[in-house]
Chain A
């Protein structure tokens, strides 16, 4: 293999990793700030200017905390739990197209770690493995509350993955490809998928909330009933890893939402920019646009968190199985009919 490609991809992966970590770090601050604003408060503003150093202070605090091990026979699994959560949250970013092609140093640099043609399946696979982090952690804690949280998390994720997959099927029928790069490229300019698949987007959005364990679906760690759910027994940096993984997966999930439905790096007027300022300018603006969309979805996650109270468990299951799945199937049927009709094969 070409050495240059290895170096190029290596640099790119490190940059993406750093950006993901940075985002996850500052999401914790953003969450606290936004929560405060929604509640008419100011929020943390003592560490650094406007609280800009707060995530560092929080991290330092978690590092210096006592490392506690519960009386569990599964010490290995107890450590593996947060590790799996963290790694699965991070490896999803491998297939995401962060931007179009860039022409630098006489090379065409594709702003994507790897363009595999089954990227959608890959994402779903990784998401499914993600639940193991919570499951294993909750199981190895040797604590009833942890186990209960883990059980809730796994059943919730399995239920919502069905509706999520069905919502994606309608999208894939339209785009005709499982590759995220093709899906992103197909939304050129302003022809974003959300305009063609509004119901599918809504279902996918709701399921994303469930998959990332965010309110109103944070039953896995609901404080009022389960103390801390699956991370009750965790302390120090292992706890930090779980929380960090949650924020990292929130970032990735926002990215997937932006790429699949909100046009990825496409923005209106990109042809004009290419004509006047060149292709590289379009790519750079595209990357910024993508990150703007990601930030919006992260904000939306937090916005919803401080608006909607937690669902009851039976309501959660009812919404998943009785509302979203029928809706997703109806969406598939309607999409199929619409595709046939537009091809002139219907009637």
Chain B
């Protein structure tokens, strides 16, 4: 078998320029076939999702708004090493490091933490490289399960820690299984 006539999918069709016969040039058979196909579509399940009422479920690997994680004891994991900012191809992340005070041990896991952590959502391309770069598993795009909302001015797209850090309720829920043990 020559390579030209090979069809791995079995759906290959050769195009020919042959002259149509009189019956073919009336298009009647072709039209009847077409009508039959469209009639079939009249009764198929509709694919529309009525958006505001219904929402599409996000896949488990959907990369949405970032979340700065807390550990099992509810402490922020981020140590402000800056690797995420370094790995970011879009220059979207900025942060400022601060040393942990002795009475803040219940708030921050490491001795150094980010006092300011900002992501510019207009710059971010949601590639997930920050997630890969993080040595402390502190930043994830797949955990928040929300999309970044639209806004009408640019300043609103710079998300600080108040929007990025995992909410406390979620952290409490995460610690519950451990407490049950």
Q: How far is the CA of A304 from the CA of B31 in the complex (A)?
A: 8
Q: Are B41 and A38 within 8 A (Cβ)?
A: yes
Q: How far is the CA of A39 from the CA of B44 in the complex (A)?
A: 9
Residue of B nearest to A304 (CB): B35
Q: Are A42 and B48 within 8 A (Cβ)?
A: yes
Is B25 engaged at the interface, CB distance under 8 Å to the other chain?
yes
Q: How far is the CA of A38 from the CA of B47 in the complex (A)?
A: 12
Is A41 engaged at the interface, CB distance under 8 Å to the other chain?
yes
Q: Which of B28, B44, B46 counts the most chain A CB atoms within 10 A?
A: B46
- Residues of B within 8 Å of A323, CB to CB, are 22, 25-26
Is B39 engaged at the interface, CB distance under 8 Å to the other chain?
yes
How many B residues face the partner with a CB closer than 8 A? 19
The B contact surface, by secondary structure, is helix
Q: How far is the CA of A34 from the CA of B42 in the complex (A)?
A: 8
Q: Are A303 and B35 within 8 A (Cβ)?
A: yes
Is A40 engaged at the interface, CB distance under 8 Å to the other chain?
yes
Q: How far is the CA of A38 from the CA of B42 in the complex (A)?
A: 5
Q: Are B44 and A40 within 8 A (Cβ)?
A: yes
Q: Which of B31, B46, B50 contacts A40 (CB 8 A)?
A: B46
Q: How far is the CA of A294 from the CA of B35 in the complex (A)?
A: 19
Is A37 engaged at the interface, CB distance under 8 Å to the other chain?
yes
Residue of A nearest to B47 (CB): A40
Q: Are A41 and B48 within 8 A (Cβ)?
A: yes
Q: Which of A315-339 contact B (CB under 8 A)?
A: 319, 323, 327
A34 shortest CB reach to chain B, Å: 8
How many A residues face the partner with a CB closer than 8 A? 16
B36 shortest CB reach to chain A, Å: 9
B42 shortest CB reach to chain A, Å: 5
A-B contact count (CB 8 A): 40
Is A6 engaged at the interface, CB distance under 8 Å to the other chain?
no
Q: Are A308 and B31 within 8 A (Cβ)?
A: yes
- Residues of B within 8 Å of A303, CB to CB, are 35, 38-39
Is B89 engaged at the interface, CB distance under 8 Å to the other chain?
no
- Residues of A within 8 Å of B22, CB to CB, are 323
Q: How far is the CA of A323 from the CA of B24 in the complex (A)?
A: 11
Is B34 engaged at the interface, CB distance under 8 Å to the other chain?
yes
Q: Are B34 and A308 within 8 A (Cβ)?
A: yes
Q: How far is the CA of A41 from the CA of B47 in the complex (A)?
A: 6
- Residues of B within 8 Å of A155, CB to CB, are none
Q: How far is the CA of A239 from the CA of B39 in the complex (A)?
A: 31
- Residues of A within 8 Å of B38, CB to CB, are 38, 303, 306-307
- Residues of B within 8 Å of A327, CB to CB, are 26
- Assuming the contacts A307-B31, A308-B31, asked whether A37 and B39 have C-beta atoms less than 8 A apart, the reply is no
A-B contact pairs, 27 of them (CB 8 A): A34-B42, A37-B41, A37-B42, A38-B38, A38-B41, A38-B42, A39-B41, A40-B41, A40-B45, A40-B46, A40-B47, A42-B46, A42-B48, A304-B31, A304-B35, A306-B38, A307-B31, A307-B34, A307-B35, A307-B38, A308-B31, A308-B34, A319-B26, A319-B27, A323-B25, A323-B26, A327-B26
Q: A-B pairs with the 4 shortest C-beta distances?
A: A42-B48, A307-B38, A307-B34, A41-B48
Can you name 13 extra interface pairs (CB under 8 A) apart from A37-B46, A41-B48, A323-B25?
A37-B41, A38-B38, A40-B41, A40-B47, A41-B47, A42-B50, A304-B35, A307-B31, A307-B34, A307-B35, A307-B37, A308-B31, A308-B34
